[in-house]
Amino acid sequence: MISFKAYRLRLIDWMSTMEIEESVKIGLEVHVQLTSLKSKLFCSCPSDYRGREPNTLVCPVCLGLPGALPVLNERAVKFAVMAALALNCKISEKMIFFRKNYYYPDLPKNFQITQYDRAGGVPLAVDGYIYIESQGQSKKIRIGRVHLEEDPGRLIHIGSIDQSPYTLVDYNRSGVALLEVVTEPDIGSPKEARLFLQKLRNILEHLGIFDGSLEGSMRCDANISLAGGTRVEVKNITSFKEVERALSFEIIRQKGLIEKGIAVKRETRHWDEVRRVTISLRTKEEEQDYRYFPEPDLVPVVISREFIEEVKVEMPELPDERVERFMRMYGLPKYDAEVLVSSKHLADFFEECVKLYSKPKEISNWMMSDLLRYLYENNLELYESKLTPQIFVEMIRLIDEGVISGKIAKKILPVIIVSGKNPRKIVEEEELVKISDESLLAELADKVFSENPKAVKDALREEKAVHYLIGQLMKITKGKADPELTNEIVKRKLEEIKRTMRNIN
């Protein structure tokens, strides 16, 4: 018997794997920290706040003390322009910062310095797009705007937000540079939302301006409506692993209401990742409630053509270009190249391996099959594992040197992924060296033959039964028998039996 809670969590997991039909419209508002910056957006406080004592990386500017004045971080502008170019956006000649006014404990100034696309506001960039691969097809997702803004402080709850007895606030994050990327409602399912975020992350990581492996570095809010109905905003989705779950939950919730004839309310809901439900936060506020107006402490920023050209020259290789290069340089099929370049970590790992051992096809095959399957099944990212290019390549070398069989390698792989242990050591300690001693294998084959007379009889007539005998030999050697040699010996023995039978007849 499983508990109700466990049952519900399983149900939500199951729902998030479902394909959802076309009536769903999802638009994302993604907040990405420019984690490669050393300092915050408007002051020189360090922006690397993770694991630091709360409220120690602060100054009058990011605490919003009276009289403190913001100074724009030029590198942040450069990074943002880079991102906008990679997202195929039109970059504004002049951008203006705005104040978005609201009160919240994570925002001590009572306003956030951001950008606005109305009331004379000009965001950094507009009208972009990227492509995602969805259901075997390239799908264009339009990007409405990209802009720069400051991150608020961090509120910490004990467990679930609506059950936490109190809230703690840490202002170390206050003022960290955020890139806000807003899509048009072109996303048609929770799965596409995840694919979009993965692609966005991949592009930004290739630009070297962002590290998605850092907790909370990519967060998103989603607007979601069913069959042209009321839009509901879901806030606090903290990773692309969560996005599918949160949106699936919300779709099921809205469908349930519609089926019962209850109107979907226009509201803002909070994704509670502990309980895996969305809960109502407030009925949706209107934009005018924020009283946006130009930030009087910052001058408009002119983005010159020369500046954009300079950034273009420095642009690193983007994922789509890398796919092309992988096909050209390593002779990989398009599909394989796309899988390997689907994340920067994976692509870097592959290239590191090839540098150590120039067998790209073999390395790619092992990565695409067993390695990725293991990571997927265990919901693990490559960088979360202990696997290094050195030990991965060492495993492939052991196969090529004939020390272990592919079968043994498949057994070693999960061990080295989890432990980071040198596979050569494992082979020595566990005596996994491939048995390629012909006389020993022949002896073992004799044993298998005498213990399985019926199978031998069948094997004389049909191919399938031969594999059974080979399988038995593999079984008694715990997979250590050299597969080619075993094959040869078993077949040779069968031939011998056939010959003797003919002679007797």
Binder of residue 86, out of Zn ion, Mn ion, none (CB less than 5 to 8 A by kind): none
Closest by alpha carbon to 265, among 238, 233, 295, 237? 233
Closest by alpha carbon to 62, among 40, 77, 80? 40
b/e burial code for range 236-253 (CB count within 10 A of at least 16 → b): bbbbbebbbbbbbbbbbe
Choose the binding region for Zn ion from 37-45, 183-191, 352-360, 463-471 (rule: CB under 5 A). Answer: 37-45
Q: Please, which residue, 110 or 358, has the CB nearer to Zn ion?
A: 110
Choose the binding region for Mn ion from 179-187, 246-254, 278-286, 490-498 (rule: CB under 5 A). Answer: 179-187
CA-based Rg of the chain, rounded to a whole angstrom? 29
What is the nearest approach in angstroms of Mn ion to the Cβ of residue 182? 9
Binder of residue 180, out of Mn ion, Zn ion, none (CB less than 5 to 8 A by kind): Mn ion
Q: Which amino acid is at 203?
A: I
Binder of residue 62, out of Zn ion, Mn ion, none (CB less than 5 to 8 A by kind): Zn ion
Choose the binding region for Mn ion from 101-109, 158-166, 175-183, 340-348 (rule: CB under 5 A). Answer: 175-183
Closest by alpha carbon to 93, among 296, 295, 305? 305
What is the nearest approach in angstroms of Zn ion to the Cβ of residue 177? 12
Among 150, 151, 180, 272, binds Mn ion (CB under 5 A): 180
Binder of residue 339, out of Mn ion, Zn ion, none (CB less than 5 to 8 A by kind): none
Closest by alpha carbon to 180, among 207, 202, 153, 151? 151
Choose the binding region for Zn ion from 52-60, 396-404, 432-440, 472-480 (rule: CB under 5 A). Answer: 52-60
Q: Which amino acid is at 332?
A: L
What is the nearest approach in angstroms of Zn ion to the Cβ of residue 62? 3
Binder of residue 45, out of Zn ion, Mn ion, none (CB less than 5 to 8 A by kind): Zn ion
Binder of residue 409, out of Mn ion, Zn ion, none (CB less than 5 to 8 A by kind): none
Q: Please, which residue, 221 or 250, has the CB nearer to Mn ion?
A: 221
The 324-363 site mask, x for binding Zn ion (CB under 5 A), equals ----------------------------------------
Q: Are strands 24-33 and 218-226 parallel, antiparallel or unpaired?
A: antiparallel
Q: Is 379 left (phi over 0), alpha (psi -120 to 50) or beta?
A: left
* Angle at 278 (CA atoms; ends 212, 201), nearest 5 degrees: 15
Q: Does 150 bind Mn ion (CB under 5 A)?
A: no
Contact 416, 392 (CB under 8 A): yes
Q: Does 45 bind Zn ion (CB under 5 A)?
A: yes
The 367-386 site mask, x for binding Zn ion (CB under 5 A), equals --------------------
Among 12, 18, 59, 281, binds Zn ion (CB under 5 A): 59
Q: Please, which residue, 219 or 322, has the CB nearer to Mn ion?
A: 219
Q: Does 62 bind Zn ion (CB under 5 A)?
A: yes
Burial class for 292, CB neighbours closer than 10 Å (0-12, 13-18, 19+)? buried
Binder of residue 59, out of Mn ion, Zn ion, none (CB less than 5 to 8 A by kind): Zn ion
Residue 32: helix, strand or coil by DSSP?
strand
How far apart, in whole angstroms, are the C-alpha atoms of residue 148 and residue 207?
A: 17
Task: Provide the strand spans (E) within 5-116.
Answer: 24-33, 90-91, 94-95, 97-101, 111-115
Q: Does 43 bind Zn ion (CB under 5 A)?
A: yes
Q: How many of the chain's residues bind Mn ion (CB under 5 A)? A: 1
| Numbers of helices and strands, H then E, in the chain | 18, 16
The DSSP-derived string for 258-313 is HHTTPPPP-EEEEEETTTTEEEEEEEPPPGGGG--EE-TTSPPEE--HHHHHHHHH
What is the nearest approach in angstroms of Zn ion to the Cβ of residue 50? 16
Contacts made by residues 347-355, CB under 8 angstroms, sequence distance 24+: 347/319, 347/322, 349/382, 349/389, 349/392, 350/326, 352/389, 353/389, 353/392, 353/393, 354/330, 355/389
Alpha carbon 291 to its chain centroid, in Å, reads 37
Choose the binding region for Zn ion from 21-29, 44-52, 353-361, 419-427 (rule: CB under 5 A). Answer: 44-52
Residue 218: helix, strand or coil by DSSP?
strand
Q: Please, which residue, 170 or 180, has the CB nearer to Mn ion?
A: 180
What is the nearest approach in angstroms of Zn ion to the Cβ of residue 40? 5
How far apart, in whole angstroms, are the C-alpha atoms of residue 104 and residue 89?
A: 32
Q: Please, which residue, 142 or 154, has the CB nearer to Zn ion?
A: 154
Choose the binding region for Mn ion from 177-185, 196-204, 426-434, 486-494 (rule: CB under 5 A). Answer: 177-185
What is the nearest approach in angstroms of Mn ion to the Cβ of residue 99? 13
What is the nearest approach in angstroms of Zn ion to the Cβ of residue 215? 21
Contact positions vs Zn ion (CB under 5 A): 43, 45, 59, 61-62
Tell me which residues touch Mn ion (CB under 5 A): 180
